[in-house]
Amino acid sequence: MADIAAPELKSGKASEPAKLVEMNWDPITRIVGSLGIYTKIDFEQRKVAECYSTSSIFRGYSIFMKGKDPRDSHFITSRICGICGDNHATCSVYAQNMAYGVKPPNMAEWIVNLGEAAEYMFDHNIFQDNLVGVDFCEQMVKETNPGVWAKAQKAAAPHAEIHGYKTIADIMTALNPFTGEFYRETLHVSRYTREMFCLMEGRHVHPSTLYPGGVGTVPTIQLFTDYITRLMKYVEFMKKVVPLHDDLFDFFYEALPGYEEVGRRRILLGCWGSFQDPDVCDYNYKTMTDWGRSMFVTPGVVVDGELVTTDLVEINLNIRILLGSTFY
Amino acid sequence: MDPESAIPYGRKTQHAPALHEVHILWITAGLGCDGDSVSITAATQPSIEDVLLGAIPGLPKVHLHNPVLAYENGAEFMAPFHAAARGEMDNFVLVVEGSIPNEKINREGYWAAMGTDPDTHEPITIPQWLDRLAPKALAVVGAGTCATYGGIHAMEGNPTGCMGLADYLGWDWKSKAGLPIVNVPGCPVQPDNFMETLLYLLYQLAGLAPMIPLDAALRPKWLFTRTVHDGCDRAGSYEQALFATEYGSPNCIVKLGCWGPVVNCNVPKRGWINGVGGCPNVGGICIGCTMPGFPDKFMPFMDQPPGAVLSSNLIKSYGGLIRSLRKLTNSTVNDEPKWRHNRPTLTTGYRR
């Protein structure tokens, strides 16, 4: 668990010294990349007094990419991440298309869209149930919240008829890492969704068939048959997964009052869009507002719950990279 | 009944593994992307759960300590690494992912670290972890090209001076159990290539297999001896001088940047995942990601390799001729023998 240091007496006003407990989690596991969280917690006031995050790896992409052939960019930037590298490669290809003034053939755009859609499916499964899901498994709940485990054993799962797990405890047991049945089933699904990805983009996580101006994938009847047969297995699986998650998370809200506060903060959402519409997108900066809004997931910025913009030009112009605490 | 004959035959001929339990300490904190850890979750031959749940006979019990998959967090996750460094763990394999940074060339701070030293309260850098753990490990394995040869982060102009395991420990390094560094390159490593190698090592440590056969770059021979070209289904196009000049063509893509003929890799042969996908076999140029020379000796990736200019020209006349001859024979064998017809005479050559 967390690294806990002895309570530290900090003198503020003579009448109210705050007792701060240092708690650190470094490394955070079940993520991709390096992250450590360091906090000082006032348990009496039930407040986090201080919190810092740190990443303990520096690689230097912006430095070693200088002077290299720009056509190689997406092959290189893909390596920024080992679970979502293909998204980096796709964005790099979009940027290259704009820079070189090229528009891929429509079929190429559809192939990239299908590949990235498969990536969303793979990533959802492996992240939600093999990485995050472990936080809700029997082993974790028993260790951290035995009272909740006891409740879970008696709680009937409202959608048991659909997903097959009679009680919430059964769902939790099925999420145990490696031994859990649902953990293993979802891992298997993450494999055939990666097969779908590989059909379109060659290999995972760093694609081989993406190029500026198009793809190297050969579109055949077999290619799309192989894709749709796997897609339908995934659709069937999701019919079970959605009610299973509903049952599990609804139970947590009910069993742990206040749990709905976890993650509650100012609503700040940013999205620069996904999945180009080849009939609209010509990779021209002049028309970016229009083709941005034609993306199948549209771009947008939400601040404090208000939609501020859906204009990709505006979003792009307002991005800032804050270098204060970095190597640069 | 004679107690000897009551023992089943299999039980008499099997022997217990030389090692009953082994820990895999997996450091992802080199300069990497965690892509190799993600890759092993795609493997099926064997799958990670096959190994951990004991589905394959003869293996020791395996305890995996990998941060991408681990149940434990923070200090609890780090405990086995510290225990091993203190010499309290006899039986562990050290797997390294990500390039080894050069911590001798920075001024203050560090390039990559994992955890904190309990005495100095300073971060423990990756080279320090190697110094502490390598001498005590049964084997040291490089997962992916970054750990094996430096890879992408070691490209020309990089600030960290990073390198592969053998550059740091020495190419002749041997573990306390007598094993050399085992390199399983690939960017990322092909899922089954890694799990198959791990399985072999577990057999070897259990006393059931001889020393793992490695090539001069410390790669498993049975996986990395043949080239991409040897295993590519478009080699036939190459032989017939059918070269793609645009992407999306089903023909050989050496003119578009593919380095297949000189790269040691089995991906076109075995596919990427479960036989699906790959690189040039599905239209993606080979950029040489299993090789010590990667990426610099293959850049710019999108240009035709110099050797391909020569070979593709040399094969033009042979390829063109052979194609026409084959076309001729192909059209002959695409015609049925003349005696298959629906006329009222038998012309098959049958004699009473």
Render pLDDT for B18-41 as a digit per residue (tens, 0 to 9). 899 999 999 999 999 999 999 999
Mean per-residue pLDDT, B303-320: 94
What are the CA-CA distances from residue A289 to residues A161, A261, A282, B299 (Å)? 47, 36, 12, 35
Confidence check: pLDDT of A12 > 70: no
Which of B34, B116, B157 faces A64 most closely, judged by CB atoms? B157
| Count of CB atoms situated within 10 Å of the CB of B8 | 9
- Report which secondary-structure segment, H or E, holds A123: helix A106-125
Q: Which tokens go with B334?
A: 């695409």
| CA–CA min distance A176, chain B (Å) | 9
Confidence check: pLDDT of A68 > 60: yes
Check CB contact of A246 with chain B, cutoff 8 Å.
Answer: no
Confidence check: pLDDT of B110 > 70: yes
Q: Which tokens go with A129?
A: 């149930």
Mean per-residue pLDDT, B53-82: 96
Q: Please, are residues B285 and B279 in contact by the beta-carbon 8 Å criterion? A: yes
Q: CB distance A203–B279 less than 8 Å?
A: yes
Mean per-residue pLDDT, A213-234: 98
Mean pLDDT of chain A: 93
| CA–CA min distance A282, chain B (Å) | 19
Confidence check: pLDDT of B109 > 50: yes
Confidence check: pLDDT of B266 > 80: yes
Check CB contact of A203 with chain B, cutoff 8 Å.
Answer: yes
Interface test with B, best of A3, A25, A57 (most B CBs within 10 A): A57
Mean per-residue pLDDT, B294-304: 97
Mean per-residue pLDDT, B273-286: 98
Check CB contact of A326 with chain B, cutoff 8 Å.
Answer: no
Confidence check: pLDDT of B292 > 90: yes
Q: Return the residue of B nearest to A67 by Cα.
A: B157
Place of tokens 């999108």: B302
Helical segments of chain B, H only:
3-6, 9-13, 35-40, 48-52, 74-85, 126-133, 145-149, 165-169, 191-205, 221-224, 228-231, 235-239, 267-270, 306-333
Closest CA to B212 of B198, B225, B229: B198
Residue A1 has what pLDDT?
47
- Cα A246 to Cα A255: distance, rounded to the nearest angstrom: 14
Kindly report the length of chain A. Answer: 328
- Cα B69 to Cα B93: distance, rounded to the nearest angstrom: 17
All residues of chain B having their beta carbon less than 8 Å from the beta carbon of residue A59 are 31, 153, 160
Which of B73, B250, B273 faces A198 most closely, judged by CB atoms? B273
Q: Which tokens go with B231?
A: 């295993």
What are the CA-CA distances from residue B126 to residues B101, B112, B113, B130 (Å)? 7, 6, 5, 6
What percentage of chain B carries pLDDT values higher than 90?
A: 91
Question: In this structure, is the dihedral angle defined by the CA atoms of residues B17, B22, B26 and B27, taken in order, positive or negative?
Answer: negative
User: Model-level pTM?
Assistant: 0.94
Mean pLDDT of chain B: 95
Residue B17: which pLDDT band, with cuts at 50, 70 and 90?
A: confident
Residue A2 has what pLDDT?
54
Residue A11 has what pLDDT?
41
Render pLDDT for A286-313 as a digit per residue (tens, 0 to 9). 999 999 999 999 999 999 999 999 999 9
All residues of chain B having their beta carbon less than 8 Å from the beta carbon of residue A84 are none
Confidence check: pLDDT of A233 > 80: yes
Check CB contact of A100 with chain B, cutoff 8 Å.
Answer: no
- Cα A54 to Cα A59: distance, rounded to the nearest angstrom: 15
Render pLDDT for B160-175 as a digit per residue (tens, 0 to 9). 999 999 999 999 999 9
Residue A8: which pLDDT band, with cuts at 50, 70 and 90?
A: very low
What percentage of chain A carries pLDDT values higher than 90?
A: 88
Which of A85, A214, A218 faces B35 most closely, judged by CB atoms? A85
Which of B52, B159, B279 faces A178 most closely, judged by CB atoms? B52
